[in-house]
Chains A and B, each alone.
Chain A
Amino acid sequence: MLKIENLHVSIKGREILKGVNLEVNAGEVHAIMGPNGTGKSTLASVIAGKDGYDVTEGNIIYKGKNLMDLSIEDRAREGIFIGFQYPVEIPGVSIANFMRTALNEIRQYRGLDPLNGAQFLKLMNEKKKVVELTEKLSNRSVNEGFSGGEKKRNEIFQMAMLEPTLSILDETDSGLDIDALRIVANGVNQLKSPDNATIVITHYQRLLDYIVPDVVHVLFDGKIVKTGPKELALELEKRGYDWIKEEYEQRKLS
């Protein structure tokens, strides 16, 4: 589904990603871990198509298409979803209006009829249950005045609404209390299917207790320096990143 080959990315002339290789297939869950500032969010942003990121080398192929040829919105319409580490507040745009516009533009792109008001409300009420949202969303602005945890929950609600093929969840666990973590992780698991794939970016094993990854990657110094089974996350939790760094330095030397 997703194939990243030797991806080099610079921001304002500074190279952040220095040759990332990653392949994700339908039905898989991948975890990406790694120390702060090593380029995890950058990778998510490049996949989303954010301005200001120069791909100097390499490719991102998604469902056989070169992602770089697609606009931000077309990537989303092709089924890519980013759960942001820091979701922005958009005062004055109601969540309902936001989601309805998004859903209907995606449907139009795919040649489907728009949902009418009643159909949309029904869908929204169904999807709210995925993340156990009880409050009315129709008159709340997108993320405005939301707590950190509420914002993350709202990201997964949006994911449930848009039913993406490839979701990249950037530190969705940060800021969540213990119950919310379980709820959000449950939501992600409910949305899992053999046809879609998820990449979770996280610093903590506790999320991976719920969302069990098939593969764990460690991103360091702009590269994926280690890939392993889910047990790798446990090992990182115990031992930290120093041994990874050492391994990496030694490999560089030899």
Chain B
Amino acid sequence: MKPFDEYSKQLKNYTLQQQPDPYLPVEEYFTCQVANMGSVMLPLLNGWYVHKDSHLTRYENGVVAGSLKAAIQECPELVDAHLNQLAAEDKDDLTASNETQYTDGIFIYVPDNVKVPQPFQIVSLVNSREDLLVQTRNIIHVGRNAELSLIQCDDSSKYGKTFLNIFTGIFLEENARLHYYKTENKEAESLLFHHINVYQKRYSFFLSNAITFNAGYVCNNIHVNLNEPFAEAQLYGLYLVDKTQHCDNRIKVLHNCPDCKSFQLYKGIMDDDAEASFHGHVVVQPDAQRTNAFQTNRNILLTDKAKINTQPFLEIYADDVQCSHGATVGQLDDEALYYLRTRGIGERSARKLLMFAFANEICQHVDIQALKDRLSDMVQRRLDGELTICDQCMMHNADNGHLIFPIDPTKL
């Protein structure tokens, strides 16, 4: 894993788009064709919120959603405190450059006691002939006893190289619940950094499930701050990489107070020369008694050249805690393979079944049925070599078919 400053040095090779593109009809270009999603679309094109008239929508139930830049203008009382809190944090080069350079991003405010009935879906597309730098900042606020499901699709269309540097601040009030699902469908030429800071109050619940289907270089950073008792964070991730793709997951969970729970399960399959890393760091502060913290990272390498660097790491300063961590790098279960074959299933299919089962475990931790089915299907087809990126975006349908890099299970 290269340090961030190596990447931040490359920022200057990319052009930041200073103005939004001319208006694009959202319905035409930003349609998610996955059946029964019923989501509310929040479109980003090259880092800018796409809109016709209204930058910011105020829903009847009090939810405010739309462009962060617009929110800063129109409702600073909802935004400023959060921005200030983020500004006070330690920063690495990339988060610092995001803070000074971000052009726009998504703002979602869910007021107290509102359970948002349909998921919100951020679709972030990049489509440019230039080597584009996209600096996006998102702020998500979920109020007391409120609930939100958020889907984020990071996609890119053809053309130049892109460097995406995304920063998301998530603020969960007492007993708030946020389910945050991400799919990363980037092409080989792209760099995608996504840094997420989560601040959780009493009894709040945060679930993150990030699936990397295809990437040039992807780095998912999640910093969870469990700041009040009985908060819980569940973090899931899956990375399916081949060719020379690279995916890092860097997790930091701070148990700052007693009685909180955190759970991490990250899985990956690496083929060809692909590389991945998992850094899971859990800090249990001295007074964070009765902490439950578990982390697991499981990997399958399909070639000798594929690499995984896994570092689960628990740093515990309290004594009354239940914590565990574990990492495996390996092959499929021989006994299971044998059992399948004794039923007449050929070795290749048996391996595929087991690989799918391995990967699909992550898809099981999705609460939106339509999304779960879709993700399972995509994982299956990714492993079958039929698909590398989600093909249900209008933007992708235009240039389908040239991004097929199958993961080959026979190489096991």
Contact = CB atoms under 8 A, between A and B. Distances in A.
A208 interface: no
Interface stretch (A25-33, A81-89, A117-125, A245-253): A81-89
B347 A71 contact: yes
A53 to B, nearest CB: 12
Contact of A72 (B338, B349, B357): B338
B23 interface: no
B361 A98 contact: no
A117 to B, nearest CB: 15
Given A48-B342, A72-B342, A101 B335 contact: no
Interface residues of B, number: 23
B339 A76 contact: no
Given A90-B357, A92-B356, A102 B339 contact: no
Given A50-B338, A90-B336, A101-B349, A77 B344 contact: yes
Contact of A87 (B339, B350, B360): B339
20 contacts: A71-B341, A71-B347, A72-B341, A72-B342, A73-B342, A76-B344, A88-B333, A88-B335, A90-B340, A92-B361, A93-B354, A93-B356, A98-B353, A101-B353, A102-B343, A102-B345, A105-B346, A106-B344, A109-B344, A158-B343
Contacts of B405: none
Interface size class of A (residues with CB under 8 A): 20 to 34
Interface string A93-114: 1000111011101100100000
A189 to B, nearest CB: 22
Contacts of A92: 356-358, 360-361
Contact of B344 (A105, A141, A142): A105
Given A84-B339, A92-B357, A92-B360, 8 more contacts: A50-B338, A76-B343, A81-B343, A88-B339, A93-B336, A97-B353, A99-B343, A105-B345
A73 B350 CA distance: 10
B347 A98 contact: no
Interface in B315-374: 333-336, 338-347, 349-350, 353-354, 356-358, 360-361
A141 B340 CA distance: 13
Nearest to A110: B344
A73 B344 contact: yes
A91 B358 CA distance: 8
B353 A93 contact: yes
Interface string B145-187: 0000000000000000000000000000000000000000000
Contacts of A50: 338
Contacts of A99: 343
Contacts of A49: 341-342
A51 interface: yes
A51 B344 contact: no
A105 B352 CA distance: 14
Nearest to A106: B344
